[in-house]
Structures are given as structure tokens and as C-alpha cells.
Structure 1
């Protein structure tokens, strides 16, 4: 899946100046086209040939990711990112947690790419 969204690095206990000193230009909101890959593990249904109900997966992705973040800043999409820096690593973890809570299938891994040179994976 791909979507555009903005993020910035900020720690809530620091002042604006301290955040700029710590994170440099990344303390300011900037936009990326994010790419997310999701790995699902399970037993293949012999009749359908699928590991999971794709309609349920699509609905969870739409509600937990796209509706919240597409075209927005991550900190505006979910309060989690008000208290936690919206790093690529945290986004991968956030998506894994949200999808794992919604689906019966095991989410094995989530990979988030913010540009061609930077990606993070989360698996648990």
C-alpha cells in the first residue's frame, strides 16, 4: 500500500528550540510517499488458497492507516504520535500493533519505507 503523509520528530517534554537542536530539520513537518508491506502467516485455506480474509485485512488497513494518516501529519491522525516521535520505526510498530489487534491471522512483519533509502521493519 502507498499513501502520502507528513511527519516530524518531536519529544513532548522538550521545547521547540530543544527539539530543533536534537532533530535538526526533521523537527519540522515534511511529507513523504510511504510504502507499507505486510506479511501474514498462517495456514492456507485449501478451498480459497488464502491465508487470510482479504476483505478484513483491507478494511483494517483502511480504518487503521489510510483514513487516519493519508494526506495528514501523523500526529494529527492518532494521539499515539503526539507522545511518540513519528519515526519510520515507530510507524512500523504502530501498524503491526493495530493490525494484530484487529485480525485473527498473525501479522508476521510490517515494513515501512519513507523513501528509496530509508525503511524500517517491525516483527514480533
Structure 2
């Protein structure tokens, strides 16, 4: 089994807010991230796939196709968007780094041919990232 990781980047805005909580509770838990006007990040996405190396091509997965999938399924949808307001999966879910990693996994699962999705890592900042290895990991 060989693991291959491809990176992509996108810039998005978001805020943290739970509708069922009071403004005081949101501010206590989320601090300045509870500003409903939002704030932005330059995210780095790492997608790791697992598979056998093709003896002819030497690839685990077609790199061009993987890049196109990441662009279509993630970058095109998330880049220069306000996640809370423009991305359907965050209409009722707080777009934390953890939830973004889970949402990206769900967008990619089953769409990468000839390999298995192994890990989605989302960096919100250089010192903050979340890993997701799938529902049953």
C-alpha cells in the first residue's frame, strides 16, 4: 500500500455561531470568532489517497485527474466564499477546521478512481490543522 498526498489552497471567510445559544454564550465560547461579519483564512488542504502503484504508470492515482477533482469538488466551491453564507454544508453547521475537514471528505469520498481516500488534512493556519480519516476510522 502506497500513500500519495496532493495539496490545494483556498481562501474563505467564516464565523463561529450556534443559533440555539445566546449572544453571550456564543461570545464566551467562540470569542472574536463569533463576529457575525466573519473573518478570513488562507486554507491549505492536503488529501492523501492510498492504493497500489500501477506497474506501468508508476502512479497510485492519475495526478492530473486528482488535481481536477480537488479543484471541482473543493476549491471551486470554497475559494473566495463566505462558508456560513454560501456553502450549503455550513448553513446549519459551525465551519470549524474540524467540520471543514469532514465536509471535504464527504465531497471527495468515492470520487477518486483506483484509490481509497485515506486522510483529509485542513490547515486553517500554519499552527492549526485538523485531520479526518473517515467515518469509521
Length-normalised TM-score, structure 2: 0.81
Secondary structure, counterpart of 2:109 in structure 1: helix
> Are the aligned partners of 2:81 and 2:87 in contact in 1 as well (CA < 8 Å)?
no
What is the CA-CA distance between 1:20 and the residue it aligns to? 2.8
Secondary structure at the counterpart of residue 102 of structure 1 = coil
Count residues with an aligned counterpart.
124
**Which residue does the alignment assign to 1:63?**
72
Q: Any unmatched runs of 5+ in structure 2? A: 1-7
Measured on the aligned residues, the alpha-carbon RMSD in Å equals 1.7
Q: Could you list the runs of 4 or more consecutive aligned residues of structure 1 that deviate by over 3 angstroms after TM superposition?
A: 14-18
The 1:46–1:76 alpha-carbon spacing in structure 2 relative to 1, beyond 3 Å, is: farther
Unaligned ranges ≥5, structure 1: none
More helix by share: 1
Q: 1:78 aligns with which of 87, 95, 103?
A: 87
Equivalence for 1:36: 45
Matches within 5 A, 1:6-45: 6-16=13-23, 18-28=25-35, 29-45=38-54
More strand by share: 2
Residues 9 and 75 in structure 2, CA contact (< 8 A), matched pair in contact too:
no
TM-score by length of 1: 0.88
- The corresponding residue for 1:119 is 129
User: Matches of 2:86 and 2:117 in 1, distance apart?
Assistant: 22
Match in the other structure for 1:103:
112
Deviation at 1:109, TM superposition (A): 0.4
**Can you list the C-alpha shifts for 1:22-63, whole angstroms capped at 9, x where unaligned?**
322111211111011111101111111111122332222112
2:55 matched to which residue of 1? 46
